[in-house]
Structure 1
Amino acid sequence: MKPAALLVATALFAAMPTPSPVQAKEVASADYSVGPQYDTTHVYVPEAKFDAFVASFVATFGGSISKQGEFQVTPTKSLTKSQLARTPAGTVSVFGFKTPIPYPFGDERTGYLVTDIDAAVASAVKHGAIRRIATFPDPIGRDSVIQWPGGVNMQLYWHTAKPNYAPLATTPENRIYLTEDVADRFITGWTGFARGKILSDDRAAPGAEVGQPGKTIRRVAIETGYGKMVVYVTDGQLPWPYGRDMTGYEVADLSATLARATAAGVETLVVPYSTGGRQAAIVRFPGGYIAEIHTNMGK
């Protein structure tokens, strides 16, 4: 290239607008979430306990249920009862398989609706997740199962026809239990993918929150377009049933909620206790699903 032409090209390049750091970050970390009301905890129960679980969940939290059906929801041959229970405190997708459950299903804790399944999966992999199964079609859309550092499994899904649900009264929290050697990798990956905001990071939270009185733990509260998440960083030496509770549900009146739960056949595993700014209990629904229920104190 002649010197004059080189000078012209250099001047043109210098005159071109460059993206700001904020713009570059937005391109690298697009938000594929739709809203917490479209995200569900996946609950697998024995077929014989299916109806009892659904009835007890709605009796505890209120809400409504979708029409029950039998579907093949995996890419390999299988058959499951399936139903959606939508409540003001959160939604569950319930599965009662009539056949053996194909790998890797049953390990995923949540299903998150995304705007673009292929782009969302690619972004998750970029931020440190692995695909446990290639994206596949289901009766109403497309799905993939991914795993984050620490063994946190979740399903990303996309619907052919976007559903239209009203916002939740309270947003449930995805409760993650990790050890120190993997917690930061998970938190960095998840917040990068989900464009998450760390609301608090308490490195001296009371161990009583996870059944370890006398110890301190780290508690990280995260909020994203997919909803709330709390990460408990512990030594892993957790007494039953801590670590088995996948979701925490916020209610206005814990005592009244537990009374409804008990009447519906729900077992209280940890009686109400106060810690971390909340009054909470841990329960087990018919079929084995374990959940935390809490009221935020001072509201």
Structure 2
Amino acid sequence: MLIRTILLAATAVSLLTTVARAGDAQATPAVAVAPQYDTTHVYVAPDDVDRFVGSFIATFGGQTTKQVVADVTPTPSSTTSQLLQTPVGTVSLFGFKTPIPHPFGEERTGYLVTDMDEAVAAARAVGADVIVTPFPDPIGRDAVIQWPGGVNTQIYWHTTPPSYPAFLHVPDNRVYVSADRADAFIRSFAAFTHGTVTGDVRDAPGVEIGVPGATYRRVTLTSDFGRMRVAVTDGHLPYPYGRETTGYAVDDFAGTLAKARAAGVAILIEPIAADGGQSAMVEFPGGYVAEIHAATDKP
């Protein structure tokens, strides 16, 4: 009888959580555009900008926009800025010529939204902090959000809507959070993005985060903003795990790594078996750490 009562109580809590998540999503507007407008923010020293661009394009293909010098923060600053567009992921690249104002450089990604004011209100409604309120930039408006668990995201809106081709493979926005805040983060982020938990593995192999012989929780979220891979850990992570912000899915895994090596990219972690395929960790000139994995048919 006691066991049955506990099971019923657990089921009730699970149902209430599901209803609460659905209610959060229904109460906020959908502000996403499409995954190809999800950009990884990369900051390198000005002297490393050209080397980074050359190595990144050589590894993944694609092209770069013309480099401009602009103030992209709400307080005075100066940076080179350009967009690197590849079939498997996009980078917003910054080479600051002045000290970087806080908290810029700590955000992992930039998400295009349909309406800045609606997006900010929606973020607050699902428990996120707006740590940089909306401000104008040369081509639109921006803000920075912090989710439960301390994950920072920049959102942006363009005066003239951009038009980018869809990705060949949608990259993973790779996030590491504590067990204390994981559920709050997932609930908040899923409600804001109107996303779906498409995977929740409670005993994923620890080798995927540099801890062979252990297990960890791996959650996958999918929305119109793209894919997110959440690693729930105790923070006992060997370098470089936790430093990567994006995982790139490629058709020719071995060939991509060969291109990376030839372009001066350091292979930090040689290929391992991970999540049904192969995975490696690399570092591009300028210090940008990324994960590369073989594309699979998994969601």
Provide TM-score, normalisation by structure 1. 0.90
Whether the 8 Å contact between 2:25 and 2:190 is mirrored in structure 1 is no
* SS of corresponding position for 2:181: helix
* SS of corresponding position for 2:180: helix
Whether the 8 Å contact between 2:25 and 2:191 is mirrored in structure 1 is no
Q: By how many angstroms is 1:29 displaced?
A: 2.6
Q: Find the aligned partners of 1:26 and 1:190 in 2 and give their Cα distance.
A: 10
Whether the 8 Å contact between 2:244 and 2:290 is mirrored in structure 1 is yes
Percent same amino acid among aligned pairs? 56
- 2:212 counterpart of 1:213: yes
Q: Which residue of 1 is the match for residue 56 of structure 2?
A: 57
Q: Find the aligned partners of 2:168 and 2:252 in 1 and give their Cα distance.
A: 13
- 2:120 counterpart of 1:137: no
Q: Which amino acid aligns with 2:127?
A: G
- 2:264 counterpart of 1:260: no
Whether the 8 Å contact between 1:89 and 1:172 is mirrored in structure 2 is yes
Runs of 4+ aligned residues of structure 1 deviating over 2 Å after TM superposition are 23-27, 296-299
Q: Which runs of 5+ in 1 are unaligned?
A: 1-20
CA RMSD of aligned residues (A): 1.7
Q: Find the aligned partners of 2:143 and 2:92 in 1 and give their Cα distance.
A: 16
Q: Find the aligned partners of 1:220 and 1:142 in 2 and give their Cα distance.
A: 31
Counterparts of 1:1-299 in structure 2, within 5 Å, are: 27-296=26-295
Q: Which runs of 5+ in 2 are unaligned?
A: 1-19
Q: Find the aligned partners of 1:142 and 1:276 in 2 and give their Cα distance.
A: 37
Query: CA 1:298–1:228 in structure 2 vs 1: closer, same or farther (change >3 Å)?
Result: closer
Q: Find the aligned partners of 2:164 and 2:133 in 1 and give their Cα distance.
A: 28
Q: Which residue of 1 is the match for residue 11 of structure 2?
A: none
Q: Which amino acid aligns with 1:78?
A: S
Residues 14-58 of structure 1: per-residue CA shift (max 9 Å, x gap): xxxxxxx9x977651321000111110000000110111011101
Whether the 8 Å contact between 2:38 and 2:225 is mirrored in structure 1 is yes
Q: Which residue of 2 is the match for residue 17 of structure 1?
A: none
Q: By how many angstroms is 1:251 displaced?
A: 0.1
* SS of corresponding position for 1:184: helix
Q: By how many angstroms is 1:275 displaced?
A: 2.1
Q: By how many angstroms is 1:134 displaced?
A: 1.3
Q: Find the aligned partners of 2:89 and 2:118 in 1 and give their Cα distance.
A: 26
Q: By how many angstroms is 1:276 displaced?
A: 1.7
Q: By how many angstroms is 1:233 displaced?
A: 0.7
Q: By how many angstroms is 1:261 displaced?
A: 0.6
Residues 115-144 of structure 1: per-residue CA shift (max 9 Å, x gap): 000110110111111011111000000000
Query: CA 1:191–1:24 in structure 2 vs 1: closer, same or farther (change >3 Å)?
Result: closer
Q: Find the aligned partners of 1:28 and 1:221 in 2 and give their Cα distance.
A: 23
Residues 175-209 of structure 1: per-residue CA shift (max 9 Å, x gap): 01111001000000000110111111111111111
Q: Find the aligned partners of 1:288 and 1:174 in 2 and give their Cα distance.
A: 18
Q: Find the aligned partners of 2:89 and 2:54 in 1 and give their Cα distance.
A: 15
Residues 203-253 of structure 1: per-residue CA shift (max 9 Å, x gap): 111111101111111000110110000101111101111111110000001
Q: Which amino acid aligns with 1:179?
A: S
Q: Which amino acid aligns with 1:230?
A: R
Residues 150-191 of structure 1: per-residue CA shift (max 9 Å, x gap): 110010100000011111101001001111001000000000
Whether the 8 Å contact between 1:70 and 1:81 is mirrored in structure 2 is yes
Whether the 8 Å contact between 1:244 and 1:290 is mirrored in structure 2 is yes
* SS of corresponding position for 1:181: coil
Query: CA 1:197–1:75 in structure 2 vs 1: closer, same or farther (change >3 Å)?
Result: same
Whether the 8 Å contact between 1:277 and 1:296 is mirrored in structure 2 is no
Q: Find the aligned partners of 2:268 and 2:292 in 1 and give their Cα distance.
A: 11
Provide TM-score, normalisation by structure 2. 0.90
Q: Find the aligned partners of 2:23 and 2:199 in 1 and give their Cα distance.
A: 26
Q: Which amino acid aligns with 1:224?
A: S
Q: Find the aligned partners of 1:298 and 1:26 in 2 and give their Cα distance.
A: 27
